[in-house]
Amino acid sequence: MPVRLIGGGLVGLTLVAASTVAAADTLPTRKAGLWESKTVSSEGSTTARQCIDDKTDQLAQGALGAGQCAKRVFTRTSTGYTGETECKMGAISASGTSVITGDFTSKIHLDVDTTLTGIPGMKEPVRRKMAIDATYLGPCEAGQSPGDIILPDGKIVKMPQGVGR
């Protein structure tokens, strides 16, 4: 069962952009409003938009990462941040590295390299490399709630209750 690009990209962006660290380095939160994320990997590319508010990143991080990541370390560099993560969701384990640049108010660029193991039906580990460019578009559109993800076909995915709201 292949890992879908859109899911991997959005989860990757949410976890990476939203993660905070117990150590001294903390990632900034994104500016509230509508963000467009363009994800490119060997599987292809996709674009999605997400409405966020000042709490979306922290709430998503808490819901998606609470107790599931044994390692989440982000280090400030001269150009942005580097990150290392080791997480487990059910039978699937993910370990990865990321390089994050941008100002978090108008643009963010992420290079993510993740290895997944334990995927049902897959004997070998699956390595995913992706580049994500997120751009601030402006205020959220009428009727959007913080956390809403708008897929390329216009379909809206609501974040679970309490995440991004």
Res 21: pLDDT: 35
**76 pLDDT higher than 60:** yes
Tell me whether residue 58 is exposed, middle or buried, using C-beta atoms within 10 angstroms of its C-beta: 0 to 12, 13 to 18, 19 or more. middle
d(CA 134, CA 112): 13
Res 34: pLDDT: 95
**12 pLDDT higher than 60:** no
Res 39: pLDDT: 95
pLDDT tens-place string over residues 37-50: 999 999 999 999 99
Res 160: pLDDT: 63
Return the half-sphere exposure (C-beta side, CA atoms, 13 A cut-off) of residue 118.
9
Res 24: pLDDT: 38
